[in-house]
Structure formats: structure tokens, C-alpha cells
Structure 1
Amino acid sequence: MELKPPASLRREHEELHAELAETIEAGGNTGNAAKKVADILHAHFLKEEEYALPPLGMLPVLAEGTVLPEMQAVIELTDRLKADLGHMLKEHEEIVTALKSLIRAAEGEGNEKAVIFAEKLMFHAQTEEDVLYPASILIGEYLKLKLSRRLISQN
């Protein structure tokens, strides 16, 4: 079973990366501020795609009621997210601080497109904190319950 983030989330990350690259290319203070965002964001996105978002790819299957023993691998990812959640949220704070600097630079240079991008990325981070990370963790907790019940009923 291949664990990967839902295609919609992967695409959103790709679009955010592309917009960030475009903002860097704008140059000036806006480009420099965007480069600082990229420096912080890159490692964070890699962690999300490695262990925070792949469990969400299981949602359609779980919603159908399917639980398979090989889904144990999902629990390893969600446990890792749960253990690292404080650090992930701290990274979000750093990203938002850098995005606020980007907004100030972009406003100073009249780059409305960069302002809109930065606000969009802040909203994305808030969605992760409010919905995606908790949903990922809940998937792991759900699987722990379901898989432990399956083991009990088999014995």
C-alpha cells in the first residue's frame, strides 16, 4: 500500500512553490523576503509530504469502512506527526513571521500579487493547523482502535 498525500494537497503545494518562485523572481525587497520564506518553507514542506499529509490519502478508504492490517504503516506516520507537532507549529510561526515581512516588502514595492500570495500561504498554514494535522492524527488513533479490535477478535 503506497502512502502519499491526496493529489489535491500535492497540487496545492506545487502551486504554492511555483508562486513562491515567481515572487522570488520579482526581485528587489519582495524577492529577498520571498527567498527567506523559501528557506524556511522547503524543509517544512518535505516533512509534511513525508509524514504529515500521507495519512490523509487513506480518508476515502477509511470512510468506506475498510481497515486492513497493512494500514499499520499509517500509524507510524501519525505517531511521528503527533510527536513532532509542536515543532511543526513552531515552524508555522517562523513561516508566518517571514510572510509578514514579505507582505511589508511587497506593499512597499506595490506588488499586490505577492501580497495575495503571502496571505494565501498564511491561510494554508492555518488550514493545516486547524484541519489537516488534527485529521491526520485522528486517522492514526482510529486505526489503532480498529486494528487492535481486529487482533482481539482474531484471538
Structure 2
Amino acid sequence: MELKPPASLRREHEELHAGLAETIEAGGNTGNAAKKVADILHAHFLKEEEYALPPLGMLPVLAEGTVLPEMQEAIELTDRLKKAVIFAEKLMLHAQTEEDVLYPASILIGEYLKLKLSRRLISQN
């Protein structure tokens, strides 16, 4: 059984690419921003189409209760996806920690130092 993404998902990606291409061609600030988005999404879509979407093409057959030996090849793809999801979750946690703890703590240190150093300068004069 050939692992292929569902046609609807492929069409959705194609439509998103086409929409971004139109926006890029329009130019200006929006076109420049769309170019950046397209560059980022292109790599994401390629990876998604490589190993995240192909197993989904088996859903209709699996929904009928059919499991075939050649479906085994999907396991390698889903294991790869699982590793990517674990990394993405860790990356999101890191970003949240930066926003919740690291950045506010660094800003607090700066504000504290401004206060202390300004008091020191006032007391020295």
C-alpha cells in the first residue's frame, strides 16, 4: 500500500502556497512579510508531507477494519513524528519559561540595578 497524504490535505497545502505566492507578488510590506512566512512554512510543509501526512491516507482503510502487512512502513513515519512532537513540546515549554521567568527576571534585575545605582549616585553627591 502506497502511503500518500489524503488529497484534501495536499490541496489545502497547495492553496496556502498559492495564496502566499499571490500576496508575495502584490509586493510592499505585506508581500515581504508573506515571503518570510512562505520561507518558514515551506520547510514545515515539506516535513509534514514527508512523514506526518502519509499515514493519514490509510484512515479510510483502517476505518473499515482492514490492517495489511505493508502498513508496517507507516510505523517508521509515525515514530519520527512522535519524536518531532516531543521536541516541539519541549521547545514550547522553553519558550514559555523564557516568557514567564527568564525575561521578567532579567528585566527585574535591570530595574533593581537602576534603582540601587541611582540611589548610590545620589548619596555620593
TM-score, normalization: structure 2? 0.64
Cα distance change, pair 43–19 in 1 and its aligned pair in 2 (3 A): same
Q: What are the Cα deviations for residues 6-57 of structure 1, in whole angstroms up to 9, with x where unaligned?
A: 0000001000000000010110000000000011111110000000011110
Cα distance change, pair 28–140 in 1 and its aligned pair in 2 (3 A): closer
Q: Which 4+ stretches in 1 moved above 3 angstroms?
A: 112-155
Cα distance change, pair 48–114 in 1 and its aligned pair in 2 (3 A): closer
The alignment yields a C-alpha RMSD, in angstroms, of 22.7
List gaps (5 residues or longer) in structure 2: none
Cα distance change, pair 76–24 in 1 and its aligned pair in 2 (3 A): same
Contact conserved, 1:79 with 1:137, CA < 8 A, in 2? no
Q: What are the Cα deviations for residues 98-126 of structure 1, in whole angstroms up to 9, with x where unaligned?
A: xxxxxxxxxxxxxx999999999999999
Shift of 1:132: 33
Query: Which sits farther off after the overlay, 122-131 or 2-11?
Result: 122-131
Q: Which residue in the other structure is 1:19 paired with?
A: 19
- Report SS of the residue matched to 2:65: coil
- Report SS of the residue matched to 1:55: helix
Q: What are the Cα deviations for residues 104-155 of structure 1, in whole angstroms up to 9, with x where unaligned?
A: xxxxxxxx99999999999999999999999999999999999999999999
Cα distance change, pair 13–62 in 1 and its aligned pair in 2 (3 A): same
Q: What are the Cα deviations for residues 39-81 of structure 1, in whole angstroms up to 9, with x where unaligned?
A: 111111000000001111000000000001111001111000x
Using the alignment, how far apart are the partners of 1:67 and 1:146 within structure 2? 70
Using the alignment, how far apart are the partners of 1:148 and 1:73 within structure 2? 66
Using the alignment, how far apart are the partners of 2:58 and 2:107 within structure 1? 12
Structure label with greater radius of gyration: 2
Q: Work out which structure has the larger RCO, using CA pairs closer than 8 Å and 6 or more positions apart in sequence.
A: 1
Report % sequence identity: 96
List gaps (5 residues or longer) in structure 1: 81-111
Query: Which sits farther off after the overlay, 1-10 or 119-128?
Result: 119-128
TM-score, normalization: structure 1? 0.52
- Report SS of the residue matched to 2:13: helix
